[in-house]
């Protein structure tokens, strides 16, 4: 019997890489947030939540073994995040319209972008790239059915890798939860990007 191209062990390693990529993006968003002293808007926070969902799906594959349902969590989260990214991007490229005629005004200009750009793209545009890439990668990953076969005894190094990855994810999710509450409190989140924490008001 030929060995599968993607074994359960390799699939778990690839899921670890994907999960840490999401963790890295979330950490990068924190660095940008504190460096530029800009609090994320509601749509930005929803995109971060979607990235957490993608990471959780990958963590399930990592800890419990590859399963189509775990990939489903990644796909649903990525689709949600992509929708939010499209919505926010459209808010900043849609020109102003005349309320009476419904046509673009002569001085139609795009709404000002939200937040600092990274390598020429705003964070919500990067969200389009990231979530689109996740959906493509997960779709391709599910083509390799060998990963869903029962695996042999789990290597110790793989178990240690899973522990490190999941602990990193838990720390980032905890930070996300705390800082979101400090920013928004029990009510709606502000959407102006101003460095104004709810807990200090």
pLDDT single digits (tens) 131-184? 999 999 999 998 888 787 877 777 888 888 889 999 999 999 999 888 888 878
**Residue 21 reports pLDDT greater than 90:** yes
Which has the higher per-residue pLDDT, 57 or 185? 57
Which residues, at least 6 apart from 193, have a Cβ–Cβ distance to it below 8 Å?
A: 38, 39, 40, 41, 114, 115
DSSP 151: P
User: Among the CATH numbers 3.30.70.1070, 1.10.3720.10, 1.20.1550.10, 3.40.47.10, which is that of 8-96+109-200?
Assistant: 1.20.1550.10
Contact indicator for 113, 94 with CB cutoff of 8 Å: no
**CA distances (Å), origin 11, targets 32, 51, 95, 138:** 32, 20, 45, 11
- Residue 34's nearest CA partner among 174, 183, 171 is 183
Secondary-structure breakdown of the chain: helix, strand, coil percentages, each rounded to the nearest 5: 65, 5, 30
pLDDT for position 130: 94
**Residue 94 reports pLDDT greater than 80:** no
- Measure the CA–CA gap between 16 and 14, rounded to whole angstroms: 5
- What is the pLDDT of the chain when averaged over all its residues? 82
């Amino acid at each position: 019997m030929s060995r599968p191209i993607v074994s359960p062990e390799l699939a778990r390693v690839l899921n670890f890489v994907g999960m840490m990529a999401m963790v890295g993006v979330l950490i990068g968003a924190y660095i940008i947030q504190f460096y530029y002293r800009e609090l994320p808007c509601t749509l930005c926070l929803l995109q971060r939540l979607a990235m957490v969902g993608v990471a959780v799906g990958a963590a399930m594959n990592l800890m419990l073994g590859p399963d189509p349902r775990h990939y489903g969590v990644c796909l649903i989260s990525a689709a949600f995040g992509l929708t939010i990214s499209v919505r926010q991007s459209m808010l900043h490229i849609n020109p102003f319209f005349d309320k009476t005629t419904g046509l673009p005004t002569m001085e139609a200009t795009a709404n000002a972008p939200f937040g600092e750009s990274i390598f020429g793209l705003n964070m919500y545009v990067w969200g389009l790239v990231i979530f689109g890439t996740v959906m493509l990668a997960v779709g391709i990953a599910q083509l390799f059915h060998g990963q869903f076969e029962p695996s042999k005894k789990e290597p110790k190094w793989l178990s240690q890798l899973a522990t490190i990855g999941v602990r990193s994810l838990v720390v980032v999710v905890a930070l996300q939860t705390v800082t979101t509450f400090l920013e928004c409190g029990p009510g709606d989140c502000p959407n102006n990007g101003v460095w104004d924490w709810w807990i200090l008001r």
